[in-house]
Amino acid sequence: MSVLFSLRDTVVQFNGTDILRHISFELPESQLVAIVGPNGAGKSTLLSLMAGLRLQYKGRCAYRALEVSRWPRRAFAREVSFVPQTFHLEFPFSAEQVVLMGRTPYGNGLFETLEDREAVQKAMLTTDTLAFRSRDFRSLSAGEKQRVILASVLAQSPRVLLLDEPTTFLDLEHQVVVYGLLRRLCREGLLVVSVTHDLNLAGAYADRVVMLRSGEVVADADPEAVLTVENIREVFSVEVEINKTQDGRLWIVYGN
Amino acid sequence: MGIKAVTPGRFWLTTAIAAGVVLAALFVLPLIGSAHIDYWRAFAGKSPDAEILFYARIPRVLLAFLAGGVLAVAGTLFQALLRDALATPYTLGVSSGASLGAVLAISAGWQQIAGIPAVWASAFSGAAITLFLVLGLASDGRRMSSFTLLLAGITINSICLACILFIQYMANFEQSFAIVRWLLGGIDAVEYSTLAWLAVVTLPAIVYLVRRAREWNLLAVGEEWASARGVPASRLILVGYLTGSLVTGSITAFTGPIGFVGLIVPHALRLWLGADHRLLMPASFFVGAVFLAACDTVARTILAPTEIPVGVITAMMGGPFFIWLLRSKRRSLWL
């Protein structure tokens, strides 16, 4: 498996304070990585760093052996896609127009090509959003919005999906559907990195969990090794009980 | 009912219809006025029809077309750039800069600068100075965000307005009257060479803005949204601000500030066409052109021979129309 992201001693500062300190890890293709940690641990910063949205950093943060800051932006956007945490739209774009924006890195023309339209169709089919393609994006429910945004990054045909809490506003069914979809994309070879607060989702779906605290990686391994009673107490200051379901998935109960 | 997809067919159809309305207006509007004229006599060179048509009414309609089109496109652009539905071409201070320049020229009694009327030259310089002042304040190294641009813009705007008030307060009665007249804005018949000069500056800029419509779509959603799709937001904001301010400043130097066109035309069209700038920008240009030319025709005829400032008419005619549109469309579009 080829390595996509390679971070070594990466430091990100904001107004002189370290937000991320000496992060080092490698992320290969075909993996679903969950980033967990308490508020202010630097999860979103780490994600936006990898998304190429923060070009001022120290140390190494390479994508396919080339520093993220040196990638041509359009070429990078064809490789790496990013789903932000919040999303507010002021103007009347249809759901389909929002998805079509994902095709920007592929063409120079004023209009989308046939290939663009096919990619959009496929992405909207995958995310179950075709039913409201011409509705005003602002009129959709929070969960529908999130799926449309997911469709938009899928239309970007990326090799990497970076998601900042993709299931925050989703109902149970769509949480399971989205994570099932992310798993499937992984099997097709994508690297999926998702910030989440839901340790159960991380435990159930991720191949690997990276736990952050105060800008540092505390643990980085498979879910069972990272999501332990001790680690969670140490990092989140919460007592938990960890069980296993019959098919061997982690099941974490919060509080005592 | 929803928002229809933007296809090349729809783009050309919308643009062609809008351009057709402008052409029709070009034939109809110059005929309206206190002196009755007709085209046969005018083209036969008969006096006074020819003079009225070619030296009074047509140049005035053409200037209104240019000004209305440019202000509507600049309004659309700044609303996307700042992600603020209430943004206008004047939000970022360039027109206050132009006004300050004009007011200075009026109060100092300058007549001509380098062969062109001092008020125009001074207004254009004022716009240019404000533009770079806002830019300098808003940019932090090479980075720039919509938010700092907005803050810098409205701050400079307030300072310019305060200076204008001060100069007006200190001016004598006659100058003060001229200042007020300029600040009300208005369309005058100008020479064809002036129109050509204005068109050369503004039309290529408008074409350029339309060609980048997909990028304004991204920016209207968000800066990270654009950057994550390979379009660096700060560069785009810079380019948009410079282009939008250049065209607004050029127009304002000739017409003074004319309100409402840059606010109402983009919003009315968004209700009809959706927010995609590929349709919105060309449509804004043509509809803004017709709207201002029609308002100006009303302004010069309704109380003839007295002329009303066109800005009064844009708000009086545009306001109720927009309220009607908002109410009739509210049910089909989510608002």
Per-residue model confidence as pLDDT tens digits over B220-230: 999 999 999 99
- Name the pTM for this structure: 0.91
Percent of chain B with pLDDT strictly greater than 90: 48
- Note whether A135 contacts B3, CB cutoff 8 Å: yes
User: Which residues of B fall within a CB distance of 8 Å from A76?
Assistant: 230
User: Other CB atoms closer than 10 Å to residue B23's CB: what's the count?
Assistant: 11
**Least confident among A102-116, B102-116, B270-284:** B102-116
- Note whether B3 contacts A48, CB cutoff 8 Å: no
Under the banding of pLDDT at 50, 70 and 90, the label for residue B192 is very high
Nearest Cα of chain A lies from the Cα of B270 at a distance, in angstroms, of 7
Per-residue model confidence as pLDDT tens digits over B62-84: 999 999 999 999 999 999 998 88
**CATH number, position B278:** 1.10.3470.10
Does B11 touch chain A if contact means CB atoms closer than 8 Å?
Answer: yes
If one counts the domains in chain B, the total is 1
Give me the pLDDT at residue A82, please: 94
What number is the average pLDDT over the span A117-146? 91
Range of the domain at B213: 18-329
User: Other CB atoms closer than 10 Å to residue B72's CB: what's the count?
Assistant: 31
Under the banding of pLDDT at 50, 70 and 90, the label for residue B334 is very low
Give me the pLDDT at residue B331, please: 55
Per-residue model confidence as pLDDT tens digits over B294-333: 999 999 888 878 888 898 898 888 888 878 877 776 655 5
Per-residue model confidence as pLDDT tens digits over B14-52: 999 999 999 999 999 998 888 888 888 888 888 888 888
Cβ atoms of B260 and B314 within 8 Å: the answer is yes
* 3-state per-residue secondary structure call for chain B: CCCCCCCHHHHHHHHHHHHHHHHHHHHHHHHCCCCCCCHHHHHCCCCCHHHHHHHHHHHHHHHHHHHHHHHHHHHHHHHHHHCCCCCCCCCCCHHHHHHHHHHHHHHHCCCEECCEEHHHHHHHHHHHHHHHHHHHHHCECCECCHHHHHHHHHHHHHHHHHHHHHHHHHCCHHHHHHHHHHHHCCCCCCCHHHHHHHHHHHHHHHHHHHHCHHHHHHHHHCHHHHHCCCCCHHHHHHHHHHHHHHHHHHHHHHHCCCCCHHHHHHHHHHHHHCCCHHHHHHHHHHHHHHHHHHHHHHHHHCECCECCCHHHHHHHHHHHHHHHHHHHHCCCCCC
- Nearest residue, CB atoms, B334 vs list A82, A87, A138: A138
CA angle A34, A38, A40 (to 5 degrees): 105
Residue A256: pLDDT above 80? no
Range of the domain at A181: 3-254
- Nearest residue, CB atoms, B3 vs list A51, A88, A92: A92
Does B204 touch chain A if contact means CB atoms closer than 8 Å?
Answer: no
Residue B185: inside a domain: yes
**CATH number, position A178:** 3.40.50.300
Tokens of B211: 């060609």
If one counts the domains in chain A, the total is 1
What chain A residue is nearest to B334 in terms of C-alpha separation? A139
**Least confident among A140-144, A245-249, B142-146, B233-237:** B142-146
- Note whether B80 contacts A91, CB cutoff 8 Å: yes
